Each structure stands twice: as C-alpha cells, then as structure tokens.
Amino acid sequence: MVESEITLLSRLPGGVNAGAMRVEVAGRADAVLKAAPRTHSEQLRETWRAQKVVEHMRGLGYPTPAWLGVGATTTHVWHLMDFVDAVPAQELTTSLAEQLIQINALQAGQASEPHDHWSYAWRVVTGQEATVAGLSGYSSAVSALVERLLLACANLPPPPRAPDMVHADLNPSNVLTRGGVVVAVVDIENAGSGTRATDLVTLQWHTFHDPMDGVRSRLWTKILDLVGWEWAAALVATQILLQLDWRIRRADGDAVAEVVHRGHVAFDELDARR
C-alpha cells in the first residue's frame, strides 16, 4: 500500500482496458498509476498475484518496471509502478521481434504463480469457456473459421504441467522502446504460468506484414519445438478466438474480417508444417 501523497501529471497513451496516468509520488521520482474498473471479486487478489510475478521475474533480469504498490477502491483496482521514459512500439519489427524472443527465453521454467494460461487455452479450444459461445452467430465467415479451429483441436487432452512464466498479452503496444531497443515489457497484470509458447504465438500474430516472413517462420519453428503441432494449433486457435471475441464485442466489422483472413492464413501455414 502506498501512503504518500500522489499528484496526477498526465495521461499516458494506450490503456484500452485500464487508464494509465503518469504521477508524482512524494519523495520519489515519477511513477505510473493504472486503475481498472472492478469486475469480479477476485480482481484485487489477482493483481497481488501479478505483483509477485513481477518481483520474481525482475530478479531474473526480465525488463518489466518495479511495482510500488497495489490497492483498491469500491469501484477500481489499482497498482503503482516505476515510470519508464520510453514509448510503446508502433508495430513489431524484425529487430524488436528478435529482442523479444530473447526476453521470452527468460520465462523458461519460471512459473511462480498458479494462474495457468495453458489450461485456459485448452478450455477455450474445447468449448468450455464462454469466449467461444456465440461467435459463430456473427457471420458465416466467422462460423466457418471457428468450426475449422475447433475441429483441429477436437479430442485434445489437457496440457501437461505449466512450467513457464507467461505474460499473456505480449503485443507491440505493451513493449516500450527507446532508439529501437526494448527497455520494458508492461501490462503484466494477467501474467501467470503455462508455456512460453503462448507469448510467442501472440508475437507471431503481429508479424503478418512485410517484411516479417522470416521472423514468422522462425517463430513457427520455436513454437513447434516447444509444444508440438497439436498444441501449436491449440494456442494459435486460442489467439484467433480471443481476437474474434474482442473485435466482435467492439463492433469493429473491418477488424473482424481481418482476423478471419489472418486466422486462415495462420492455420494454412501451420498445416504446411504438420
């Protein structure tokens, strides 16, 4: 808990799900305050869990800002962390992808909190999560893609133990850079355990533009080496289904069409590596 006076300085870019404010804390340098609306009873406990993941990974050299405090009001759950003087990546480049692949390697064998993203992915692709329910009713194109994804994952057994730390949202907007160098990975609130291939799949989702074919091929190889074809298919399917759910809830028809197209391309590439 932070008991010092906090002065709001400015709003930071990003923060679709939670507001991010640059603040000044009495007696120390600038910091960042993030507050998310309370949506469920375990939210504060989950934020404490993320703080433990941050502390553990920072001890291994993982580049994420230190958390200074966690708390809640009647309407929001918040955390305070160090300010990093850098900007979110506009898009994934070859250089950034290579740096993030190296950062991802730090996650190997570092599961420290029992928040299993691998089991969650299994529940998504086997139809046990509400995320999938209702997606097919959006359009025939979405229905065809969902059917393809679920068919590829039919009869998939539960995953093995969850050995790695998983960021769970490793997209360019959560990567802070300075001069083309990754200086911080942020938005770690949903971090937990699983396979680090989950984060490599997220990275790969952002390589479907020129000139990223070489990086995407390298990511395919790493993902398949880590989890094999069946689980690669399940993790990619989870990424696509969550992207569809997010875009449909935002009523962004053009983005839904792009997810459908990219989803088929991703599975075509994966099928070619079977």
201-256 tens-digit pLDDT = 999 999 998 899 999 999 999 999 999 999 999 999 999 999 999 999 999 999 99
pLDDT classification of 14: cutoffs 50, 70, 90 = low
Specify the pLDDT at position 3: 55
pLDDT higher than 70, residue 29:
no
Specify the pLDDT at position 1: 46
Q: Which residues make beta-bridge pairs with 178?
A: 181
How many angstroms separate the Cα of 93 from the Cα of each of 26, 88, 165, 214? 38, 13, 24, 11
Least confident of 10-14, 55-59, 242-246: 10-14
Average pLDDT of 120-124? 97
pLDDT higher than 90, residue 259:
yes
**What is the C-alpha to C-alpha distance for residues 77 and 95, in angstroms, rounded to an integer?**
35
The secondary structure element, H or E, covering residue 148 is: helix 140-152
The residue type found at 50 is A
Average pLDDT of 182-203? 97
Round the average pLDDT of the chain to a whole number and report it.
92
Specify the pLDDT at position 178: 96
**What is the C-alpha to C-alpha distance for residues 70 and 179, in angstroms, rounded to an integer?**
31
Residue 6 main-chain phi, psi, to 5 deg: -115, 130
Average pLDDT of 98-109? 98
Q: Ramachandran region of residue 155, left (φ > 0), alpha (ψ -120 to 50) or beta?
A: left
Bridge-based pairing of strands 175-178 and 87-88 is antiparallel
Specify the pLDDT at position 242: 96
Specify the pLDDT at position 106: 98
Per-residue DSSP letters for 193-239? EE-THHHHHHHHHT--STT-HHHHHHHHHHHHHHHHHHHHHHHHHHH
**What is the C-alpha to C-alpha distance for residues 41 and 63, in angstroms, rounded to an integer?**
30
Least confident of 107-111, 130-134, 147-151: 130-134
pLDDT higher than 70, residue 185:
yes
Specify the pLDDT at position 130: 85
pLDDT classification of 122: cutoffs 50, 70, 90 = very high
pLDDT higher than 80, residue 17:
no
Q: Which residues make beta-bridge pairs with 25?
A: 6
Specify the pLDDT at position 11: 76
Which of 29 and 90 is assigned the larger pLDDT? 90
Specify the pLDDT at position 25: 82
Bridge-based pairing of strands 87-88 and 164-166 is unpaired
pLDDT classification of 10: cutoffs 50, 70, 90 = confident
pLDDT higher than 90, residue 146:
yes
Q: By three-state DSSP, how is residue 93 classified?
A: coil
